[in-house]
Amino acid sequence: MPLETFKSSQPLTLGVELELQLVNSHDMDLSSSANDLLELLRRKPFPGLVTPEMTQSMIEVATDVHTEHGPLLAQLQTMRDTVVRAGDRLNIEIAGGGTHPFQRWFEQRIFSQSRFEELSGLYGYLAKQFTVFGQHVHVGCANADDALFLLHALNRYVPHFIALSASSPFSQGVDTLFDSARLNSVFAFPLSGRAPFVLRWDAFAEVYFSKMESTGVVKSMKDFYWDIRPKPEYGTIELRVCDTPLTVERAAALACYLQALCRHLLERNEPPPEEDDYLVYTYNRFQACRFGLEGQMVNPKTRERIGIREDILATLRRLQPHALALNAQAAMDEIERTAGRDFNHACYLRRRYAETGSVQGVVRASVDALRCGPG
């Protein structure tokens, strides 16, 4: 079946999806409670969209389409409050974070839905190991060629989003030494990583996708787990590298940082993307996952090595006029605090572990952070 036509959407509109952890209140382990929670949430109109995910220990919430930081954050906060209140009625805690620190993957149960069961049959144990939690951000694009341009122009900024959102230092009960261990689980899937370097939609849809479909490997864009992928049915590109932050305030700030960055890139004042940009892509991605804001990255154009933290702060200065135009200064302030002073949530969770001496204490900190917000 041919790939569907790319739907035009209002440029720079935003939508955010957050995968959330369902946690037992008595032992802080994951709780296979998605059916019960979703049933309770269906009894009243939900202020957004809430859906199941791969396993019974997770759900996904999604916002409406937004243009500015303030309304986006307000909806995220309302959705959070609604889910937390429902969890309280069922004695289930809700948490952000890219991984649960000590859950055992083999105990997870696949959610009973045909697509999830099909994926479980295809990927075996990887499906249960996919009990990891990410933030996805959609950005509206006027046309398909703009979408592919943005997808590839963003490649050098992917380490920013990994490092800023990183909240998965613990897995299987130990400190992995990665700020984002979650992305290692995603990278295990055969159709993950980077998209092919194609800048024209006709070439992407009629040549690349058609060839992939003819192999029987893919049926739709959902079969690609790329770091950034086009979503023709929405008229967006979707950034998929972020861990779910511990707070919705951080999630909103990350989305609006991406929005301002896309506005800047669409001015086309930077050198255009090219295939050679990806020579350093995997290295930069690893640095961000392993070391977070302390990582080093290589500028694909200049070959200059620079700290990820320093590159974010320099980028924020370039984005200042775009932040003002988009009414996103509060979001940029949050990003600047994260990069310049407060550090990412992986650092926060390590501090909580040092204080409590237990991975259960880390989960408790994650639960409290989502419930109470920053500070």
User: What is the per-residue pLDDT across 204-222, written as a single tens digit (0 to 9) for each?
Assistant: 999 999 999 998 878 888 8
Number of domains into which the chain is organized: 1
Range of the domain at 185: 14-372
Residue 156 lies in a domain: yes
Residue 6 lies in a domain: no
Output the CA torsion sign for 194, 66, 337, 19. Answer: negative
More confident residue, 128 or 20: 20
pLDDT at 166 over 70: yes
CA distance linking residue 372 with residue 252, whole number of Å? 16
pLDDT at residue 107, as a whole number: 67
Residue 33 lies in a domain: yes
pLDDT at 108 over 70: no
Residue 34 lies in a domain: yes
Percentage of the chain beyond pLDDT 90 is 82
List of residues 6+ apart from 53 with CB closer than 8 A: 19, 34, 59, 60, 111
Percentage of the chain beyond pLDDT 70 is 94
pLDDT at 128 over 80: no
pLDDT band at residue 257 under the 50/70/90 scheme: very high
Residue 7 lies in a domain: no
Residue 8 lies in a domain: no
pLDDT band at residue 130 under the 50/70/90 scheme: low
pLDDT band at residue 127 under the 50/70/90 scheme: low
For the chain, the average pLDDT equals: 93
pTM for the model: 0.95
pLDDT at 266 over 90: yes
How confident is the model over 278-330, as pLDDT tens digits? 999 999 999 999 999 999 999 999 999 999 999 999 999 999 999 999 999 99
CATH code of residue 123: 3.30.590.20
pLDDT at 164 over 90: yes
